[in-house]
Amino acid sequence: MGPEHAHAIGLATDMAVMSLLALSAYLLLLAGRISFGQQAYFGLGAYASALATTWAQWPLAAALAGAGLVGAAAAFALALPTSRLSGLHHAVATLAFAEMLRIALQGWHWRWTGADGAPAGPNGIDGFRDIRWLLENDVSDAAFLGLAAGVLGAVLLALALLWRCRAALALRAVGQDDTLAAAQGTPVRRVRLAAATVAGAVAALGGALYAHRTTYIEPALFDPMLGVHAVGYALIGGLGTVFGPLLGVAFDLGLLDATRVFAGWRMVVFGGLVALFLRWRPRGLLDEATLDRLASFLGRRRAPPIAPSLETVR
């Protein structure tokens, strides 16, 4: 296996992992809320799964499931007080929560003696080393890519299946106009809670995969920039479909990073693009209107889109 091959596998795995985080931000955007704190669940998933495979000696699959549960529980707990906050306050509150978690992790030391006699476990600001489940079980990079893609695929499948059902329609209705949705009898708060919980689980899955791929995690990795990127991916890729966030990730990691064309200027380009998109295509590349046109071009009729609410001159 040549180095380009290995590099491509690595890149694909990174994209799969980041896609999970981007999807998590996307779910909240669908519900009409912006969250700058999804990196918290990413981090929680990373730490929880690492503990599961190192300290509790669980197999990876169980660790992933556990991480998802932890992410879901934490997201639910946070969403309880924050779901009623409006856009700006919600964004800042989620950021505050994520930062509190990150700082708490910086102070968390829980060491034990590993099988080889060396100390192991989360070591505060120095992070959590030796998350070696993949190495110890001889999982190749390609196999892990398969796993990551599988997890991503499962999440996408679940979301795609739900897309047409009442739950998803309720979600999008709430995101478009929650007053209207409430007037139509949608349990707005419950919908938001559900969206946040699922988003937390998805982000945590991403974090768990990340931890095992890199074998080393530290609190500094789960900083606001990570969460901000996640939102950026969802916004650029488009909110009309679950593949939108993936497009955003592919664009940034695949195009900008991998091609090295914009070496060192990646954020300048990416940031500029997000801003420009928001100016002229606020719902991203794959927005509802584009998908509609695509669908009718392909001769298929989509479920009628929920019309964006008309903003009046204030």
Partner 1 sequence: MGRVIDLLQTTLDGLLDGASYALVGLGLTLTFGTLRRLNLAHGAVAMIAAYAGAWLHGRGAVPAWGVALAVVGVAVVASLYVEWLCFAPAADGATLARGGAPVAGADAREVVALASSFAVWMQLEQLGVHLLPRHLNAFPSLAAETEWALGPFALRPDRLALALLAVVLTAGLATWLARTRGGLAWRAAADQRVAAGLVGIGVPGVQRMAFAVAGALAGVAAFAVLAVQGQVTPMFGMWVLTKGLVAALLGGLGSVRGVLGGGLALGVVEAHAQGLAGALGREFATWALLFAVLLVPRRRGGAGRAHGA
Q: Does the footprint of partner 1 cover residue 127 (CB under 8 A)?
A: no
Cβ 123 to partner 1 shortest distance, Å? 14
Cβ 85 to partner 1 shortest distance, Å? 7
Rounded Cα–Cα distance for residues 226 and 203 (Å): 12
Rounded Cα–Cα distance for residues 124 and 195 (Å): 31
Rounded Cα–Cα distance for residues 230 and 236 (Å): 10
25 Cβ contact list (under 8 Å, min separation 6)? 35, 38, 199, 227, 230, 231, 233, 234, 245
Tokens of 75: 């997201």
Rounded Cα–Cα distance for residues 149 and 60 (Å): 15
The residue from 3, 4, 117, 312 that contacts partner 1 (CB under 8 A) is 312
Is the CB of 60 or the CB of 105 nearer to partner 1?
Answer: 105
Q: Does the footprint of partner 1 cover residue 272 (CB under 8 A)?
A: yes
DSSP string, 141-188: HHHHHHHHHHHHHHHHHHHHHHHTSHHHHHHHHHHH-HHHHHHTT--H
- DSSP one-letter code for 36: S
The residue from 6, 62, 96, 167 that contacts partner 1 (CB under 8 A) is 96
Q: Does the footprint of partner 1 cover residue 129 (CB under 8 A)?
A: no
Q: Does the footprint of partner 1 cover residue 203 (CB under 8 A)?
A: no
Number of residues interacting with partner 1: please give it, by CB under 8 A: 64
Residue 81 burial by Cβ neighbours in a 10 Å radius (0-12, 13-18, 19+): exposed
Rounded Cα–Cα distance for residues 39 and 168 (Å): 24
Is the CB of 1 or the CB of 263 nearer to partner 1?
Answer: 263
Q: Does the footprint of partner 1 cover residue 89 (CB under 8 A)?
A: yes
SS3 196: helix
Nearest-10 crossing angle of helices 38-54, 60-82: 150
Q: Pick the stretch among 15-23, 111-119, 146-154, 272-280 that binds partner 1 (CB under 8 A).
A: 272-280
The residue from 118, 259, 263, 279 that contacts partner 1 (CB under 8 A) is 279
Cβ 99 to partner 1 shortest distance, Å? 5
Q: Does the footprint of partner 1 cover residue 99 (CB under 8 A)?
A: yes
Q: Which H or E run includes 286?
A: none
Alpha-carbon radius of gyration of the chain: 20
Q: Does the footprint of partner 1 cover residue 187 (CB under 8 A)?
A: no
Tokens of 194: 């559900």
Q: Does the footprint of partner 1 cover residue 228 (CB under 8 A)?
A: yes
Q: Does the footprint of partner 1 cover residue 192 (CB under 8 A)?
A: no
Q: Which H or E run includes 259?
A: none
Q: Does the footprint of partner 1 cover residue 304 (CB under 8 A)?
A: no
Q: Does the footprint of partner 1 cover residue 260 (CB under 8 A)?
A: no
The residue from 6, 62, 81, 184 that contacts partner 1 (CB under 8 A) is 81
Site for partner 1 in 154-183 (CB under 8 A): 175-179
Question: Which residues contact partner 1 (rule: CB under 8 A)?
Answer: 29, 32-34, 36, 81-82, 85-89, 91-93, 96-97, 99-100, 103-104, 106-107, 175-179, 224-225, 228, 231-232, 235, 239, 264-268, 270-276, 278-284, 287-289, 308-314
